[in-house]
Amino acid sequence: MQTPTIFTRILTCLFTVCTLSLSVTAEDQRPAKPNVVLMFVDDLGWQDVKCYDVDEPSPMETPNLDSLAKKGVQFWNGYSPAPTCAPSRCALLSGVHPARAQKTHVVGGAPPHPHHDIGTTVMAPWYSGRMPETTFNLAKAMKAEGYSTGHTGKWHIAVDHHAFPQPMDIGFDFTTHQAGYNTRGAQNGMSNRLKDFATTDAKDPYRLDENGFPTDIVTTEAIKFFDDHKEKPVFLYYATWLVHTPIQTRSKALLEKYCKKLGIDYPTEPKDWTLEGQRNPHYCAMVEMLDYYVGQIISYLEKTDDPRWPGHKLIENTYLVFTSDNGGMEGGGGHEIITDNYPLDKGKINAKEGGTRVPFLIAGPSIAKGVQSNVVINGLDLYPTILSWVGAKPKEGKILDGSDLSTLLKTDATKADLVKGHDGKTRDTMIWHFPHASMQSTIRIGGYKLIRNLNHLFHPSIPQYELYQLYDQDGKRVDIEEANNLADKDPERTQKMDQHLTEILTEMDASLPYYNRHGRHVSAEFKKSAPTALKHSRSGNSVTLSYKENGASVSKAYIVYTTKKEKVSEEWFRAPATINADKSITATIPEGSTHFYLNLVDSNQVLVSYPECPDSRAHSKATNEAAGKKVHHASFTHFALPNQP
């Protein structure tokens, strides 16, 4: 072997120095503010994406999502903030836990009331209808950092889809909610899901593209927004309606494909689907459509030059996040079986694993590729993580209930001890609070999960606690099915986890369900001991309600009021009232309010409303009688006290 000459060594050193210099120079030229694309999809289950298959293989084909998983980190223990849409979306944008925000379910903004005057035993507490417009949300935070902020698709952070506030009210520069846009895109309702397919006609708003997929304005407008604003850093909130109901596809070819793949006959009845499991061809086609549209966004980023970084593509300086607002919806209205989250139990509208565990993919600059991680993360973590990516600090006094994942993602996404709680220690705890429908509060600590059933007291078949070991101490799967309740076998762990859950919910001032004092299943003791509201008096904007105690003391009191200022929907708000020593409560009537209720909550969690709040049947009747008024909760004003002396 010939020994290198001094001249050769000098040339080699010079080449190495030049190469390193060019590399450093290129990296130095990287724009300081990366782009962020947050893809928040609707009702997509943990087992609906091919790369998440465990046990039985999923029939859905998701090549673009599978590819995205290889471009970054695939989290197997990714969770949504809530088991339903609106609270998760509010939590994502606000960074505040649904329990703390009093935004725990969809709609909201109504006085607490029973659905049936005597048939309802447990009723949901008051919960907010919206994310307040004053919240320093993620859009405002990104805008403050010089970002162009865009939203396409679903919104739903208010009492309904069109209620205040809308995206441009809270910091977005652009939204498909502007006049003239169909915010559902290809997911807009079909009058007949076996006939109204997209065509190649140029006038068809869902015109099939060169690959046979329907045009989706939610996606095309997302790409257009990015393209129009790429001279600045871009924050894109892509919130497609897929795969939410209606369960349909505008691609006849996709429907035929999945009928063949599933080995079933092409449907002849458009209304129902009753085959169990992941055998709904309409839904399978929807999942592939979703995957295709995500692929369109990624392809655009991969092929488009970055004007802020000459010689590079947009994808090289863009963080991509893909996740879902809640677990898969297993069944819809009527007789529609949509999907199956097995081996996870339950689905949307339930706080068990099937309702909260979701696909969660993150890729971007300095994030290792092809990593599989068992670290437990949550949609609440995205706000602080994105702030770190863009070099921003949280606003002073701003509450962020999630943890910053940036160090985890940059260093080693498999190391759980890189995720820190607010106390600076490794985070090992996560909670969910859902005082609606299934009525559950849950806590996961390490591999164990405790479910506290909030409606157990007068339902003997419902246990107060359920304890499951999802994984062992080495992260090996044990019971992700939540099939083996250990609460009676391990009472010490159950008690400790329940106590910790109480501590967290108390710190968040979480609202708990109420008992309906007229409910047929409520005990005679609870009914007899509930306080009696007597009479009220007013002095200016101060109102006082006297009451009689019948055994149970009044522990909390509120005024629930409406301003009726909203153009589309009426919304009710809540403020605390003072409990006086003389068996009365005093509340300040907020300025601008038009009607109000006074609520007493006793030590047994029984609600007494003054005046008596109507049940849902009376509410519906009054709504129908409200001449020409198409406003949400309008009928409640027919029962509440008017705000006049």
Which ranges constitute the DSSP H helices of 513-571?
Answer: 524-529
Q: Are 196 and 250 in contact (CB under 8 A)?
A: yes
Confidence at residue 605, expressed as pLDDT on a 0 to 100 scale: 98
> Is pLDDT at 8 greater than 70 in this prediction?
no
Say if residue 611 is preceded by a cis peptide, omega within 30 of 0. Answer: yes
Q: Quick: pLDDT tens for 136-147.
A: 999 999 999 999
pTM: 0.93
**Strand ranges for 446-541 from DSSP E:** 448-453, 465-469, 514-516, 532-539
Phi, psi of 509 (to 5 degrees): 55, 45
> Is pLDDT at 237 greater than 70 in this prediction?
yes
Cα torsion at 160, 161, 166, 167 (round to 10°)?
A: 140
DSSP secondary structure, 103-166, as one string: --SSS--S----SSTTT-SEEPPP--SS--TTS--HHHHHHHTT-EEEEEE----SSSTTSSPP
> Is pLDDT at 10 greater than 60 in this prediction?
no
Q: What percentage of the chain carries pLDDT values higher than 70? A: 91
pLDDT-wise least confident of 202-206, 369-373, 586-590, 620-624:
620-624
21 pLDDT band, cuts 50/70/90, is very low
Q: Where in the chain is the domain with CATH 2.60.40?
A: 530-642
Assigned fold of 439-513 = Arylsulfatase, C-terminal domain (3.30.1120)
> Is pLDDT at 364 greater than 50 in this prediction?
yes
Phi, psi of 494 (to 5 degrees): -60, -45
Taking CA atoms, 368 is separated from 69, 278, 362, 408, in Å, by 11, 32, 10, 11
Confidence at residue 610, expressed as pLDDT on a 0 to 100 scale: 97
Confidence at residue 629, expressed as pLDDT on a 0 to 100 scale: 43
Confidence at residue 76, expressed as pLDDT on a 0 to 100 scale: 98
Confidence at residue 622, expressed as pLDDT on a 0 to 100 scale: 55
Q: Quick: pLDDT tens for 408-443.
A: 999 999 999 999 999 999 999 999 999 999 999 999
Q: State the average pLDDT over residues 164-178.
A: 94
18 pLDDT band, cuts 50/70/90, is very low
Q: Are 440 and 453 in contact (CB under 8 A)?
A: yes
Phi, psi of 354 (to 5 degrees): -65, -20
Can you tell me whether residue 451 is helix, strand or coil? strand
> Is pLDDT at 7 greater than 60 in this prediction?
no
23 pLDDT band, cuts 50/70/90, is very low
Place domain 36-110+123-413 in its CATH homologous superfamily.
Alkaline Phosphatase, subunit A (3.40.720.10)
635 pLDDT band, cuts 50/70/90, is low
Q: Are 288 and 62 in contact (CB under 8 A)?
A: yes
Q: Quick: pLDDT tens for 605-619.
A: 999 999 998 877 666
Mean pLDDT for the chain overall: 92
Round to the nearest angstrom and report the end-to-end CA distance of the chain: 104
CA dist 150 and 37 (Å) reads 10
20 pLDDT band, cuts 50/70/90, is very low
Can you tell me whether residue 25 is helix, strand or coil? helix
Q: Which amino acid is at 95?
A: G
Which residue reads 């600045």 in tokens?
232
Q: Quick: pLDDT tens for 110-133.
A: 999 999 999 999 999 999 999 999
CA dist 598 and 282 (Å) reads 48
Q: Quick: pLDDT tens for 575-625.
A: 999 999 999 999 999 999 999 999 999 999 999 999 998 877 666 555 555
Q: What percentage of the chain carries pLDDT values higher than 90? A: 86
Q: Where in the chain is the domain with CATH 3.30.1120.10?
A: 439-513
> Is pLDDT at 626 greater than 60 in this prediction?
no
Q: Where in the chain is the domain with CATH 3.40.720.10?
A: 36-110+123-413
> Is pLDDT at 399 greater than 50 in this prediction?
yes
Q: Quick: pLDDT tens for 333-343.
A: 668 999 999 99
* Alpha-carbon torsion (286, 288, 294, 299), positive or negative: negative
Which residue reads 């590819």 in tokens?
67
Query: Which numeric CATH code is attached to 530-642?
Result: 2.60.40
Higher confidence at residue 10 or residue 594?
Answer: 594
pLDDT-wise least confident of 152-166, 172-186, 282-296:
172-186
Q: Are 120 and 113 in contact (CB under 8 A)?
A: no
523 pLDDT band, cuts 50/70/90, is very high
